[in-house]
Structure 1
Amino acid sequence: MYLTIATDGVELKLPEHTTDLYASYWERLGPDTITKVLAEHDAGELSEDRQSVMIPVATLRRLAAGRVPEGWDADFEAMLAKARERGWLNEAGDAVQAHLERER
């Protein structure tokens, strides 16, 4: 799954694929715009190094709702467990780190 960021909002693509998570943007968005869009849509925070986004788990669930197959919750929880093992889940367990990529 991946979160797309654009001036008009965010969208979760391929939510059924729980083996990978990243964030991307197609446009030539600067860090200020990315930060603003993420905040407006409760979709996370840009890291200080601008290489990743901390996405709230609740946001991923909200954006995936009604679009995923049966059993997705278990797969999603397994993804979060792997993220925790790798240090990609925040201490509270309510946000997960996703690498930020510029789509070309």
Structure 2
Amino acid sequence: MTVYLAIATDGVELRMPEHTTDLYASYWERLGPDQIVRLLAEHDAGELSEDRQSVMIPVATLRRLAAGRVSEGWDAEFEAMLEKARERGWLNESGDAVQAHLERER
């Protein structure tokens, strides 16, 4: 199970925030890149990469979307996930955004 940011015409949602073993972003609908960029901006949910293969998601956004939905101890697990992301080069230099692969859900 993984944490993932679901992107849809009605907004963004953090699904399965309690599972911090992986992170990705997905879109269910036939959204084009311009729509994805707009939705991410409207919801302060990150930026689409130039190659359109990933999203840089603000760590603060992930915390905001998980608030009130996760158990005590989640922060430590989330920090461990971010540390793994840092080791793999998926965290930006300032540590305030994490890269997530973007997939189209079928």
Q: Could you tell me which residue of structure 1 aligns to residue 49 of structure 2?
A: 47
Unaligned runs of 5+ in 2: none
Q: Could you tell me which residue of structure 1 aligns to residue 101 of structure 2?
A: 99
Unaligned runs of 5+ in 1: none
One-letter amino acid of the counterpart of residue 92, structure 2: N
Q: Give the aligned CA root-mean-square deviation in angstroms.
A: 0.3
What is the distance in 2 between the residues matched to 1:65 and 1:14?
12
One-letter amino acid of the counterpart of residue 38, structure 1: L
Q: Could you tell me which residue of structure 2 aligns to residue 66 of structure 1?
A: 68
What is the distance in 2 between the residues matched to 1:28 and 1:69?
34
Aligned residues: 104
2:31 corresponds to 1:29:
yes
* TM-score between both structures, scaled by the size of structure 2: 0.97
* TM-score between both structures, scaled by the size of structure 1: 0.99
What is the distance in 2 between the residues matched to 1:57 and 1:101?
19
Identical-pair percentage: 88
